[in-house]
Amino acid sequence: MAVPEAAEAAAPKKFVDPDFEPEIIVFACHYCAYAAADLAGSMRLQYPTNIRMIKLPCTGKLEVIHLLRAIEAGADGVYAAGCMEGECHYLKGNLWARKRVDHVKDLLAELGIEPERVEMFNMSSAMGAKFAEVATEFTELIKQLGPNPVKREGVSPHAAAREALGGVAMPDQAESSVAVTVEEGHAE
Amino acid sequence: MTATEYKAGSNLEKILSEGKFAVTGECGPPKGADVTVIEEKAKLLKGYVDAVNITDNQTAVVRVCSMASGYTAQQNGVEAIMQMTCRDRNRLAMQADILGAATLGIKNILCLTGDHMSFGNHPEAKGVHDLDAINLIQMYKDMRDEKKFQCGEEMTVAPPLYIGCAENPFADPFELRALRLKKKIEAGADFVQTQCIFNVPKFKKWMEEVRALGLHKEIKILAGITPMKGVGGARYMQKFVPGIDVPQDIVDRMAVPEKGAPQQAEGKKIAVEMIKEFTEIEGVAGVHIMAIEWEIAVPEIVEAAGLMPRPAVA
Amino acid sequence: MITAERKPLDEILELVGDKKKILVAGCDTCVAICLTGGEKEAEILASELRIKAEQEGRAVEVEHTAAIRQCEWEYLDMIAEKIEQADVVLSMACGIGIQSLAEKFAPKLVMPAVNTNMLGMPQEHAVWLERCGACGECVIGETAGICPVVRCSKSLMNGPCGGSHDGKCEVTTPEKEDIDCAWALIWERLKAQGREELMFVNRPPKNWSKSSSGGPRKMVREEAKPV
C-alpha cells in the first residue's frame, strides 16, 4: 500500500495503517459552531464519525490545559470551533481561544508532536457546510499524521477532555435540529 | 625533541622536556610607571632561574601589568612567565592580551583565578570573572592548537604558548586537590606551580595522590617555596594568608633571637633544605621560588641547593 | 524574595531636601516580609521624619501609606490620590516598585528610601542570605541545587579556587563574617547525592549575554497578551 506522507514534507516517511481511524475532540461553541453542526445534521451533510463534540458556552472558556489534557489522553486531533472573528457572542472569546491554540501548538512542537494536531476554526451558525468540510478535512489530515504517539488502551480522550473542562462543558445533545436552550452567559 | 614538537619552544619548556630540574622565580612589578625596577630584578635573577613569573595585580593591588613587565624582563635576559587573572579581564581582553604577548615574544603564560578585590587596594572595583581559570586554560589551548578564538572563529596566526596553572595542595577540600589538577590537565595545562609549601609532609601526601592518578606524567609540577625573611612574616602567613599552611615548627625555627640577618639566614637555610627535599620527590619537575621583594636572596639559595649552573638549551 | 535595607537617615533627608509635603510609601510584599519597607516601617520612617523636622524647627507634613505591591500599577491606583498630593514620595519598595511608581506618576518626584540588595532567602527569622544571581541561564541542576554565580564570590563554573579553606570562602562579608565556599557545599551535596562525577566535568564559559550584562531584559507571554 502507498505510504501517505505527513502534510509538512520535512518529516521522514512513516508507515500509517490505512485502517487507522483517528479519535478527534472538537470543542464547539454554543452560539455558532455547535449550531452549524446541528445544521449540517439537518442538511444531511456527511461528516466523519471520528469527531466527538463537547459544547461550551464560548471557545473563550477553553484553557491551554483543556487542549493539552485531550492530547495527553491520546486524542489524535483536537480543534476548537468558534464564531467568526469579530462576531463572537462574548466579543473576544474566540480571539483568546486562537491565542491559546497557538500556544498549545508551541508546546506540542517542543514535545516533538505535530503542532497540526491542534487547530482553531471559525464559522457562523449558518455555515453547516463549512462545519462538515472542516470535520472531513481535519480528519483526513490526522489520518495522514497517524495515531497520537501517547495514545493508549483504556484511556478515553473524550472523557478526559470533559473532566478537564468540568462545569464549563455543556451537556451533550442528540444530533437533531431541536432548538438549543440558551444558557445564561456573561461577557468577557 | 625537535623544534616542531615543542608547544612554544620556551626555555622553560625545553628544560622541563629534557627532564632537568627546573628553577623559576617570581617578580612583582612596581607600583608606578618605572621600567628600571624590573630591569634590575631581571639582572639579579639572570642565570639563576630558567624563567621568572611576572605577577599581575597580585593580591588585587595595582602594579605595572604583567605583559609589559614580562617584555622588559625578556629584554634584560630572563625569560618571562606572564600571568593572567580572571578577576581583571574578560575573554576579549584575555585573548587580545595573549596575542599581544605572543607578538612581543612572550611564550609562557600562567592562568589564574585571581585573589578577590576585597584583598587589595581597590575593593570597590567590579570583579570581572567572565571566565574561570579552567575556561582560561582551555581557551588558550584552543587558540594555540586549534588556531581558534573562543567564539570558534579562526585566527590568522596561532600564539605559541606554554600554558601553566597554579594549584594549592593545602586548600580545601583536601580530597579534591589532586582531582582539580586533573581537570586543569584536561583543559590543557602544560605545567603547574604550587602555592608555597611549608608543610612538606602534607605536600608529599598530595604528590602521592597525584602520582596515583598518573598526573605527574601528564603535567610538569613545580613545587613552590617562599623563603622567609623573618619570624614576623612567618607568623603573618600562618595566620592571615588564605590557603597557606605554615607548621608551628617552621615558625619556631624562624624565631631566632636576633632579627635581621640571623633570621634571614635561617629562612634561606629552610628554603635550601626544602628544595633539596623536592629534588628527591618523584614527580616534582622543578622548584618555583617566590622571593617577592627579596629577589636578592635567590642566587644564594639556588647555589646552596646545588642547582647551579642552570642548563643551557638550544 | 527581593530584600532591601533602609538607607541611612542622613541620606534620606538629603534626598527629600526642603520639600514640605512628604509621602512615605511602603510596599506590603517583599520589603514588608524582610521587615524593611512595609506599612509598619513606612509609619516608623514617617514618624522619624517628623521628629527630625521638629528638632530642626522645620515645618513639614509627613504622611505614610502602603500599596499591596508597588510594582503593579493597578495597586498604585489605590494610593494615587495621596501620591498626587505630595511634593515628594519616599518609596520604601524595592528598586522595581520605586521605578514603577516613578514611571506611573512621572514627573512626580520619587526618591528611594531603601537600598535594594539581593534576591535572598530567609535562612532563619530575620536573617537573609543571597541565593540567586538572576543570570538568565540557571545551572543549579548540575551543581546540586547551589548557585555558583552568586554564592561563589568569583562566579566560578569550575570551582573551588585555591582560596577555599575549611569550607569557607577567602572573602568575608563587610561585617567580617565567614562566607561558605559554595563549591565546597556543592561537593558535599554531590557526594550525598552520589553524583560526584559532576564535580569533574569541565564546564564551559558562562553565557553572560543572558544576564543583565547583555542589556536590560524583557519577558513576554504572548499567549496571555490581551487581544
Would residue B55 count as lying in a domain? yes
A103·C227 Cβ contact <8 A: no
Residues whose CB is less than 8 angstroms from the CB of residue B120 and which lie 6 or more positions away in sequence, other chains included: B57, B59, B60, B61, B62
- Residue B47 Ramachandran class (φ > 0 left, ψ -120 to 50 alpha, else beta): left
Query: Please, what is the Cα angle at B5 between B2 and B6, to 5 degrees?
Result: 100
Chain C residue with the nearest C-alpha to that of B132: C156
The Cα-based distances of B248 to A44, B15, B127, B212, B253 in angstroms read 101, 35, 35, 29, 9
A102 vs C contacts (CB less than 8 Å): 222-223
Would residue A169 count as lying in a domain? no
pLDDT the model gives residue A183: 40
Look at strands C178-180 and C168-172 and give their pairing. antiparallel
Task: Read off the pLDDT of each residue in B102-123 and give the average, rounded to a whole number.
Answer: 96
CA distance, residue A100 to nearest chain C CA (Å): 6
What are the extents of the domains in chain C?
Answer: 2-118, 133-210
C223·A100 Cβ contact <8 A: yes
CA distance, residue A56 to nearest chain C CA (Å): 20
**CATH number of the domain within which A64 lies:** 3.40.50
C200 vs B contacts (CB less than 8 Å): 179, 182-183
Position A5 pLDDT exceeds 80: no
pLDDT the model gives residue A2: 43
C117: enclosing H helix or E strand: strand C114-124
Do residues C117 and C20 lie in contact, with contact meaning Cβ atoms separated by under 8 Å?
no
Chain C residue with the nearest C-alpha to that of A96: C227
Beta strands in B32-180 (DSSP E): 51-54, 80-85, 108-112, 162-167
3-state SS, residue A27: strand
Position A186 pLDDT exceeds 70: no
DSSP class of B226: -
Chains that touch C (3 or more CB pairs under 8 A): A, B
- Residues facing residue C174 across a β-bridge: none
Query: Please, what is the Cα angle at B213 between B212 and B219, to 5 degrees?
Result: 115
Q: Which residues of A111-139 are buried (b: 16+ CB within 10 A; e: fewer)?
A: eebbbbbbbbbbbbbebbebbbbbbbebb
Name the least confident of A13-27, B121-135, B261-275, C61-75: A13-27
Confidence grade of residue B245 (pLDDT, cut at 50, 70, 90): confident
CA distance, residue A113 to nearest chain C CA (Å): 19
Task: Read off the pLDDT of each residue in B204-215 and give the average, rounded to a whole number.
Answer: 94
C200·B179 Cβ contact <8 A: yes
Would residue A174 count as lying in a domain? no
State yes or no: chains A and B have 3 or more CB pairs below 8 A.
Answer: no
Distance separating alpha carbons of residues A115 and C64, to the nearest angstrom: 53
Would residue B314 count as lying in a domain? no
Average pLDDT, chain B: 93
C220 vs A contacts (CB less than 8 Å): none
Task: Read off the pLDDT of each residue in B220-237 and give the average, rounded to a whole number.
Answer: 92
- Per-residue model confidence as pLDDT tens digits over B64-83: 999 999 999 999 999 999 99
Position C123 pLDDT exceeds 70: yes
A103·C225 Cβ contact <8 A: no
Question: Cβ–Cβ contacts within 10 Å for residue C78, how many?
Answer: 12
pLDDT the model gives residue C158: 96
Task: Read off the pLDDT of each residue in A88-114 and give the average, rounded to a whole number.
Answer: 94
Taking the CA of residue C210 as centre, how many other CA atoms within 13 Å lie in the half-sphere pointing to its CB?
11
CA distance, residue C10 to nearest chain B CA (Å): 22
A83 vs C contacts (CB less than 8 Å): none
Position A8 pLDDT exceeds 50: no
DSSP class of A184: P
Do residues A118 and A105 lie in contact, with contact meaning Cβ atoms separated by under 8 Å?
yes
C118: enclosing H helix or E strand: strand C114-124
Q: Above pLDDT 90, what percent of chain A?
A: 73
C165·B86 Cβ contact <8 A: no
Chain C residue with the nearest C-alpha to that of B128: C154
pLDDT the model gives residue C166: 86
ipTM: 0.90
Residue A26 in grid coordinates: 472538537
Would residue B53 count as lying in a domain? yes
C227·A99 Cβ contact <8 A: yes
C208 vs B contacts (CB less than 8 Å): 130
Would residue A15 count as lying in a domain? no
pLDDT the model gives residue C182: 97
Position B156 pLDDT exceeds 60: yes
- Residues facing residue B14 across a β-bridge: none
Q: Which residues of C10-21 are buried (b: 16+ CB within 10 A; e: fewer)?
A: eebeebbeebee
* C2-118 CATH pick, 6.10.140.120, 3.40.50.2300, 3.30.70.120, 1.10.540.10: 3.40.50.2300
Would residue A134 count as lying in a domain? yes
pLDDT the model gives residue A175: 45
Position A131 pLDDT exceeds 60: yes
Name the least confident of A125-129, C112-116, C173-177: C173-177
Do residues B104 and B96 lie in contact, with contact meaning Cβ atoms separated by under 8 Å?
no
The Cα-based distances of B30 to B63, B65, B109, B233 in angstroms read 6, 9, 20, 21
B172·C155 Cβ contact <8 A: no
Would residue B193 count as lying in a domain? yes
Would residue B311 count as lying in a domain? no
pLDDT the model gives residue A4: 45
Would residue B310 count as lying in a domain? no
A95·C227 Cβ contact <8 A: yes
Alpha-carbon dihedral of residues C15, C17, C22, C24, nearest 10 degrees? 20
Q: Which residues of B225-257 are buried (b: 16+ CB within 10 A; e: fewer)?
A: bbbbbbbebbeebbeebbbbbbeeebbebbebe
C222·A99 Cβ contact <8 A: yes
More confident residue, A16 or C55: C55
More confident residue, A177 or B244: B244
**CATH number of the domain within which B212 lies:** 3.20.20.220
Would residue B309 count as lying in a domain? no
3-state secondary structure A97-149: HHHHHHHHHHHHHHHCCCHHHEEEEECCCCCHHHHHHHHHHHHHHHHHHCCCC
Would residue A71 count as lying in a domain? yes
Do residues C1 and C120 lie in contact, with contact meaning Cβ atoms separated by under 8 Å?
yes
Would residue A8 count as lying in a domain? no
Task: Read off the pLDDT of each residue in C45-64 and give the average, rounded to a whole number.
Answer: 92
Confidence grade of residue A171 (pLDDT, cut at 50, 70, 90): confident
A95 vs C contacts (CB less than 8 Å): 227
Task: Read off the pLDDT of each residue in B179-205 and give the average, rounded to a whole number.
Answer: 94
Confidence grade of residue A1 (pLDDT, cut at 50, 70, 90): very low
Would residue B260 count as lying in a domain? yes
Name the least confident of A57-66, A168-177, B147-156: A168-177
C223·A103 Cβ contact <8 A: yes
- Per-residue model confidence as pLDDT tens digits over C1-17: 999 999 999 999 999 99
Position A113 pLDDT exceeds 60: yes
Rounded to 5 degrees, φ, ψ at B152 are 105, -15
B118 vs C contacts (CB less than 8 Å): 171-172
Domain count, chain A: 1
Position C162 pLDDT exceeds 80: yes
Residues whose CB is less than 8 angstroms from the CB of residue B145 and which lie 6 or more positions away in sequence, other chains included: B158, B188
Average pLDDT, chain C: 94
B178: enclosing H helix or E strand: helix B177-187
Domain count, chain B: 1
The amino acid at residue B110 is: L
Confidence grade of residue A6 (pLDDT, cut at 50, 70, 90): very low
CA-CA-CA-CA torsion sign (A119, A69, A99, A59) = positive
pLDDT the model gives residue A179: 37
For residue B207, what are the domain limits? 3-304
